[in-house]
Amino acid sequence: MSVLTEIVAGVRADLRERMGEVSPEVLRRRAESREAWMTPEAVGAALRCADGVRLIAEVKRVSPARGLLAAIDRPGALAAEYAAGGAAAISVLTEPRHFGGSLDDLRAVRAAVDIPLLRKDFVVHPYQLAEAAVAGADLVLLIVAALSWPELEMLVRQAGEYGLAVLVETHTEEEVDRALAAGARIIGVNARDLASLRVDRDVYAGLAARIPGDVVTVAESGVRGPADVRAYAQAGADAVLVGSALVTDARPADAVAAMLAAGRREGLT
């Protein structure tokens, strides 16, 4: 069993439990009646800047590849540090079994910052979109490798009905094509193969040319510091998602600022 298959199996089991506690109908009504913080179009605009790469900074306790990264007792305080450093958006891992996250983390971060908020999880059911909307997310992650074509198309459409933007994650040419066909306006290219957990930082450059210029592109994984942000910016990324390198830094605001400085357009050659 691949790592991705194992994670998704756990996600589906936890999902069944939560659906038994709050019915899909009740949660759907709450999601439909919520007041969105930001429109999907505004989220996309926040992740693109002519002057340089944008940064999505992640609240992430555990990595399946590296184990425990940080305790993060106050996720809202960490997110505020990221925002102070200039992060354009905050990503919050909400998967509990392999990443140590929760929807409580998402709610805590929403209370602490007013920039776009991404629910990063293995979304396989509309119920999770409703959860994200109710908890205050502006953006949700959909992983092409974890979804069938009907599931991907349906979840992109349903997210829009809840007023959520979607970051559609890809790793291959075929997955990029599927993301575009599903109507994705923000596409992530993950340098980490979720089946093997191996990282290949050249994946982004290899796929970027396949993505139209009017679609926001996000480079994911493999960022060890400012030099990697610079390399992704040189390859044309609009935004870079950074997790482990930030949560393990004693000065997260400064770390964000240093990465943004490395990704400024005028400094690229």
Residue 190 appears among annotated catalytic residues: yes
Residue 58 appears among annotated catalytic residues: yes
pLDDT (tens digit per residue) in 180-205: 999 999 999 999 888 788 889 999 99
pLDDT > 90 in the chain, percent: 89
Catalytic residue, candidates 60, 63, 131, 244: 60
Catalytic residue, candidates 58, 81, 131, 175: 58
pLDDT (tens digit per residue) in 203-243: 999 999 999 999 999 999 989 999 999 999 999 999 999 99
Q: Is the pLDDT of residue 66 over 90?
A: no
Residue 221 appears among annotated catalytic residues: yes
pLDDT (tens digit per residue) in 21-53: 999 999 999 999 988 889 999 999 999 999 999
Catalytic residue, candidates 169, 173, 174, 196: 169
Identify the band that residue 64 occupies on the pLDDT scale cut at 50, 70 and 90. Answer: confident
Q: Is the pLDDT of residue 103 over 70?
A: yes
Residue 169 appears among annotated catalytic residues: yes
CATH architecture of 3-34+45-267: Alpha-Beta Barrel (3.20)
Do residues 185 and 216 lie in contact, with contact meaning Cβ atoms separated by under 8 Å? yes
pLDDT (tens digit per residue) in 77-89: 999 999 999 999 9
How far apart (Å, rounded) are the C-alpha atoms in residues 172 and 4?
15
Residue-wise DSSP of 67-118: EE----S-HHHHHHHHHHHT-SEEEEE--HHHH---HHHHHHHHHH--S-EE
Residue 120 appears among annotated catalytic residues: yes
Catalytic residue, candidates 63, 95, 175, 190: 190
Residue 60 appears among annotated catalytic residues: yes
